[in-house]
Amino acid sequence: MKFWRPLFWSFRVLSVLFFLFFAYYAQARELSALIVGVSEYPSLPKELQLKGPRNDAERTREVLLQRGFLPTHIKVLADGVSGAGLPTRSNILAELDRLANTASKDDLVFLYFAGHGSQQPADRSTEEGRAEPDGLYETFLPRDVGKWSGSVGRVENALIKTEVRDAVDRLLAKGAFVWAVFDSCHSGTIVRGDDAGVRYRFVNPETLGIPQAVMDAAVQEAPRSRGSSLVKKAPFITLKSPGGESVFFYSSQAYDTSPEMILPQGQAGGKYYGLFGATVMEALASGVPMTYRQMAQFILTRYGAMNEVDVTPLFSGTALDKPVLFQDSPIVPQWKIESGRNLFIKAGALAHLGVGAVMAVMANPLAKIDAALGYLKVTQVDLSESMAVPIEFNGKPALRPEAILPGSFARVVLNPPQYTLLVSVDARGCNKHCMLKVVVDELRQAKADVAGTVIRWVDAPATGDVMLRLLPDRILLLPPSLQGVDCDKVATACNRYATVILGSKLHGDDRGPSETLAQALHAVARATNLLRIAANLTYAGGDKSKFEVNVKLRSMDGKALPYTKDQVPDLHAGDHATITLHNNGLSSVDATLLYVDARYGINVLFPKAGESNRLDPRSTYDVEVDIGDDTLGVERMLSIAVDAVKKQERADFSFLAQPSLAASRGLEGPDGSDPDVMAFMDAGYSAYRTRSETATPRAPSSRTSMQVFTFNVGN
């Protein structure tokens, strides 16, 4: 006994030291953030003032606090935000310098920039300037940005990409992990219209006083000095010699735009947010463990669910496969309950809650779900608050509101998908005698609405999932990022991405104008809801299936094209894709491969007609696809895999196929009772509305997994 006693105490001492070591290590790994949001630009005209960055800054700070950042470690520079500093050039550089001086090895530094971007000629007296592929520096515009000075060759107070990159390099040299999010754009392909519900975070260099001749000279000189043609480049940071690990999220590629709009769309009390930043925060607030690459895939999928066919975010860095914020276990989605005359939950649409969600009432936020006191059902959702009522659920009777004690929490149990299509109508270009307005008004006033589709109508400038722009001779259907565009000024963008729903050439078919419009909206809803299912599956925890999809791309001349799922490659007619389906599991899988084009067409790539889509364990199947140019824009390929059930019909989703718009016809859905198949029927045909007035859409079970691949198809 005496022999064991010293060993016992030695073990106790070592255990304590071990615990203290890890406690110290966890505490030493600090999380720090610099959030920059520039909404007001005193030197710029009224039409270039922004509304979203201040809201982006507040939302980002709120989410970071939820994810474990200490208030003292979050610095906010944003105009219009209480307690924040002004986002001037000197303040931004001072905070970047402070972070670089105080960061330690293994710290995480989060950088967030929301505001206008622009371009200016690169400084050709430096090696970095001479190396710019297009001869231009991308810039971020602080609040105190000035005008171009030809004598010094720069825009006064603009933040040049090299200045931000130098600060990041200093952080990486300390061994810190840097995650930077840039929600601004650096190209000017879009012109906003008057009273637009969508704004763009770009300032034309000419507005900053840079002569067009100077910009043209910079671009023309770059390829001659390099001896080769221009190449695609990252829009803001390209690292020289990184020491620590890094991840960079850009709201747009070098030729794209970064829109801000009222979000969530159609939500009472919605505010202007940057589309990209809001989607990043949605993923971060979910608490679902994911890598940065998986978050990138989620963002691209969400863009598809929002009908975004123009904007393509970019993701880069050395640590895309590392877990976000070092998190490898889920954070339970739960919020405090405020009781009184009504029950309120301190979360709403920004937290992805929807009407019909079921919440467990927990006296202790750390308790297991088995300890639920009762359940609530969400009846009304605002931006950051929801109203709920007690319900009988899961064998427990409905609670009396007064029985819910102060300090109780509501934990998400069920959150049904939302399949309403929000349609904005812009009739400002259609005079009072415009016949097409009569067609739209008839459809809006019809009690039956559009068969197989749930539509909610709003009027411009409010944005929707899609917008119907009524012109004297046609109706244009616009995606969200084009809803603020004057198509008379930007004909190229509208011709590429807008869809003509009704026009003089379409009046001669065998359908009436109302039926043509109704079926077009049904097609939009079906394609949109298919991507919403994919986004919801990702939001709920990602793809845990053993079913894999690999894509290999070749150009028209046979050269291999690099590709990963978190990127958006540029493809052209004549390029080729080989898609390999792998069932790495020990049981069979029913697989369907669909392609959603930029005109809402859904094409079945696998299975072919009459072919079985059941893949045996450890089997593979190759699908060959030629890229065409019938439709142009951002397009998506989706795989749907359902674990097969013995003696049950195959889960084949070919019934979702539909032609691209202008040729779309209604299609019949499948007969069957597979609940996962019927979940897609709810999305594609609003089948749940036939069950009862109070029925909610079904969501696919854990049997189903989806993957989404995004391509930008051009001429």
Q: Kindly report, residue by residue over 273-285, the tens digit of the pLDDT.
A: 999 999 999 999 9
Residue whose structure tokens are 């950042």: 69
Mean pLDDT of 80-91: 97
Q: Is the pLDDT of residue 228 over 90?
A: no
Q: Report the pLDDT value the prediction gives residue 646, as an integer from 0 to 100.
A: 83
Q: Are 325 and 31 in contact (CB under 8 A)?
A: yes
C-alpha 224/C-alpha 204 separation (Å) is 25
Structural contact between residues 418 and 699, judged by C-beta atoms closer than 8 angstroms: no
Taking a C-beta distance cutoff of 8 angstroms, is the pair 641, 652 a contact? no
pLDDT of 553 reads 97
CA distance 589 to 642: 6
Sign of CA dihedral 102, 108, 110, 111: positive
- Which range is least confidently modeled, 129-138, 234-243, 259-268, 405-414? 234-243
Q: Which of 233-247, 346-360, 361-375, 634-648 has the lowest mean pLDDT?
A: 233-247
pLDDT tens readout for residues 298-317: 999 999 888 887 778 989 99
Residue 531 to residue 675: CA distance in whole angstroms: 18
Q: Which residue has the higher pLDDT, 507 or 553?
A: 553
Angle value at C-alpha 532, between 359 and 382, nearest 5 degrees: 45
Distance CA 349, CA 71 (A): 24
Return the percent helix, strand and coil in the chain, to nearest 5. 30, 30, 45
Exposure b/e, 277-299, CB count within 10 A at least 16 = b: bbbbbbbbbbbbbbbbbbbbbbb
DSSP symbols for 560-628: EE---TTS--EEETT-EEEEEEEE-SSS-EEEEEEEE-TTS-EEEEESPTT---EEPTTEEEEEEEE--
| pLDDT grade for 394, boundaries at 50, 70 and 90 | very high
Q: Which residue has the higher pLDDT, 323 or 192?
A: 323
pLDDT in tens, 685-707: 777 777 666 778 888 888 899 99
Instruction: Quote the tokens at residue 436.
Output: 């097409």
Average pLDDT taken over every residue of the chain: 84
Strands 159-160, 358-362: pairing is unpaired
Does the global pTM surpass 0.75?
yes
- Give CA–CA dist 570/553, Å, rounded: 11
Domains and CATH numbers, the chain: 27-124+137-211+229-287 (3.40.50.1460), 334-414 (2.40.10), 421-521 (no CATH), 544-714 (no CATH)
Which residue type sits at 370?
A: D
Decide if pLDDT at 214 tops 70. Answer: yes
Task: Write down the residue that tokens 């920059």 correspond to.
Answer: 36
- Grade residue 525 by pLDDT with cuts at 50, 70 and 90: very high
Which of 216, 31, 25, 236 is closest to 115 using CA atoms? Answer: 236
Contact 515, 506 (CB under 8 A): no
Mean pLDDT of 64-82: 96
Q: How confident is the model at residue 661 (pLDDT cuts 50, 70, 90)?
A: confident
Structure confidence at residue 543 as a pLDDT band (50, 70, 90):
low
- What is the structure's pLDDT at 84? 97
Place of tokens 């036939």: 690
Residue that has been written with the tokens 């359940």 in this structure: 375
What average pLDDT does this structure show over 235-241? 57
Mean pLDDT, range 514-541, rounded to an integer: 86
Pick from 186, 299, 307: which is nearest to 236 by CA?
186
- For residue 262, how many other CB atoms are within 10 A of its CB? 20
For the record, the structure tokens of 393 come out as 């659920």
Ranges 215-224, 434-443, 611-620: which has the least confidence? 215-224
Beta-strand ranges (E) seen in 47-90 are 74-78
| Biggest alpha carbon–alpha carbon distance for the chain | 103
CA quadruple 321, 324, 325, 331: dihedral positive or negative? negative
Where are the strands (E) in 266-363, listed by range?
271-274, 314-317, 334-338, 343-345, 358-362
- Total residues belonging to the chain: 715
Asked if omega into 42 is within 30° of 0 (cis), the reply is: no
Tokens representing residue 213 in the block: 């001749």
- 8 Å CB contact between 194 and 96: no
Distance between CA 360 and CA 379 in Å, rounded?
15
Q: Residue 477: exposed, middle, or buried by beta-carbon count in 10 A (0-12, 13-18, 19+)?
A: buried
Two structure tokens written together for 631? 């439709």
Lowest mean pLDDT among 98-102, 270-274, 370-374, 664-668: 664-668
**How far is 289 from 302, CA to CA, in rounded Å?**
17
Q: Which of the residue ranges 188-192, 380-384, 439-443 would you say has the lowest mean pLDDT?
A: 188-192
Instruction: Give mean pLDDT, residues 123-152.
Output: 89
